[in-house]
Structure 1
């Protein structure tokens, strides 16, 4: 219970903004997990290891880029909402 409160306090004190580098690293780590999942599913469906690895190889590159763009768009949406709220109350 005490540890939970300490962790909540530390998390709430941190800035809610992710840096570009953190977004990129999150993208890469998530894609590793996602690509392994894709390869396993592809192998189960096709029964061919080479095909599963091929599908995973193409998918990993495109999804890293898409996720990074997605993160940056949402970061900008957050900025706009914050700016609108600030202007509304100013």
Structure 2
């Protein structure tokens, strides 16, 4: 199982990429930098929280992990 710190670091780097993409797309569609930034930050914050919960829950699932039988 990976550490909580590693899970958080992965979530943050993923959200930075998502923030840039979402912000760019929102700006393209709305023409408003403020609206784009607000939308991107809101989705990044919620996505970060849900990603961390999702990863920690999956860390408890043993399905698909372990030694293979011969």
The alignment's TM-score, normalised by the length of structure 1, stands at: 0.67
1:58 matched to 2:42: yes
Please identify the structure whose Cα radius of gyration is greater: 1
Picking from 29, 32, 40, the partner of 1:45 is 29
- Alignment length, in residue pairs? 68
What RMSD in Å do the two structures reach over aligned CA positions?
Answer: 2.1
- Rounded Cα–Cα distance in structure 1 between residues aligned with 2:47 and 2:38: 14
- Rounded Cα–Cα distance in structure 2 between residues aligned with 1:30 and 1:36: 10
Greater than 6 Å deviation, 4+ residue runs? none
Q: Which runs of 5+ in 1 are unaligned?
A: 1-16
1:19 matched to 2:25: no
What residue is the counterpart of 2:20 in the other structure? 36
User: Helix, strand or coil: the match of 1:77?
Assistant: coil
- Rounded Cα–Cα distance in structure 2 between residues aligned with 1:44 and 1:18: 38
The alignment's TM-score, normalised by the length of structure 2, stands at: 0.84
